Amino acid sequence: MEIGKMYIDGQWTLSVSGATHEVINPADGSVIGVVTRGGPEDVKKAVAAAKRAFYEDGWMDVKPVERARLLLKAADLLESRADAFALLETKDNGKPLRESIYDVSDAVTCLRYYAGIATKPHGQTYDVADPMQAMVVREAIGVCGLIVPWNYPLLMSMWKIAPALAAGNTIVFKPSEMTPMNAIKFFEILEEAGFPKGVANLVMGPGAVVGNEIASNMDVDKVAFTGGTETGRSIMRAAAGNIKGISLELGGKSPNIVFADADFDIAIDYALFGIFANQGEVCSAGSRLILEDTIYDKFLTVLTERAKKIRVGNGLDETTEMGPLVSGEHMHKVLEYIEIGKKEGARLLCGGNRITAGALGKGFYVEPTIFADATPDMRIVQEEIFGPVLAVQKFHGEKQALELANGTPFGLAGGVFTSDGAKAMRVIKKLRAGITWINAYHPTYCEAPWGGYKQSGIGRDLGTFGYEEYTEVKQININLQPGETGWFDK
């Protein structure tokens, strides 16, 4: 089996150490690839190449129209190979193929969106006291380290690569060591599209080694990370060395509030979609369902019946609605949380087990799981499980709904279901979260900012906000009538 290589300074290369790493298909435990395993020396080589490309080779002077042309070429190439990328995404991550198809389509859209943003007006001008003219421009930051997770391998990559390159930066990119396959394929596209050597660099390896070197390297000007909150704290500490810019999209324990006056069937549908889409491996998952007391029992009865019918299986099976978890290690973590929920006294309504029947026994499958009667002090309410496990809480009145909804350290996302528009807005405005929905859950658009409050992160991905994360703001003052100030006597 050919070893997947890193891409550094325009060359495909093995790691300095020569170490390799097997990539596992979570659906059946089979090996789908072997990739080189990088270390600090590989990161240093990539950073040096990125720094040279930016300052010495002229990338910082490349006009926006040319950056846009390259990104559009990459988008066209990705779109032409969408089927192959979707298939590899499912084998790499485990998610149902229909979800991978959407992810690839969204990735193409993201590339084209930021290609468009690159050529649009940026900056401001000011009328100030004569004879001065003042303006503000946005410039590229320089070398950007980009670190992404395994739950949306390709799409999360585009959320960072596209705006960083559109804004004129050079990049050192690290995918998750568990899901690197499409990253390699996409860097082949960047090479084919014609990005100059050193502009885009791919380094693979464990986060504790490669990610830490990216975050601490003194020649990296910004680090952008999506992943767990504890890792985010480590990156913040490492980034302090040269006070580099950081943007962190971290964990969530997001509330989905359903009032009694909501459309019952729609709320049921989105409650399921909110937690069981992508196997619950979603930072913004509606992992806490907060139900009004008058519909609590009826809602749970129907919800449980529907959850039991979810078809769990290999993502390549077109009938599959929920795939395996990404790895055996992660599966065991989720199963441990389920045991914690039982010990804490939450009432298990369905699921709670690893699926081992037939061919599924070779993979990392967990049943859709619902806990009722969860209370704020429980770990399954306070901590991110990142799997198909739903904790349900009961409320009476808007005040208690908000107390429960805001009662965790996180503030990434949240939803409100009600037929009362005024109530929906009252609650949404008081929900301490960065991404919210009314009578929906999960729709995501590259035009809108993505990020959270509290321990869910710093900064935003996507939209114009995501583009600005990769720019510095410079003030320029121009004297239109140069002359002596007369401030000091001659």
| DSSP β-bridge partners for residue 87 | none
Other CB atoms within a 10 A radius of the CB of residue 317 amount to 14
Residue 13 CB burial class (10 angstroms; 0-12, 13-18, ≥19): middle
Taking the C-alpha atoms of residue 16 and residue 38, their distance in angstroms, rounded to an integer, is: 7
Sign of the alpha-carbon torsion through 352, 356, 359, 363? positive
User: Which amino acid, residue 407?
Assistant: G
- How far are the Cα atoms of 89, 105, 123, 467 from residue 128, in angstroms, in the given order? 54, 47, 16, 28
Q: CB-hemisphere CA count at 13 Å for 319?
A: 4
Sign of the alpha-carbon torsion through 447, 448, 452, 453? positive
Catalytic annotation on 283? Answer: yes
Catalytic annotation on 249? Answer: yes
Nearest Cα to 369, choosing from 394, 404, 342?
Answer: 342
Q: Which residue among 283, 292, 384, 469 is the active-site one?
A: 283
Contact between 349 and 389 (Cβ < 8 Å): no
Give 489's DSSP letter: -
Q: Which residue among 89, 249, 384, 468 is the active-site one?
A: 249
Nearest Cα to 455, choosing from 250, 215, 238, 237?
Answer: 250
Residue 311 CB burial class (10 angstroms; 0-12, 13-18, ≥19): exposed
Positions annotated as catalytic residues are 249, 283
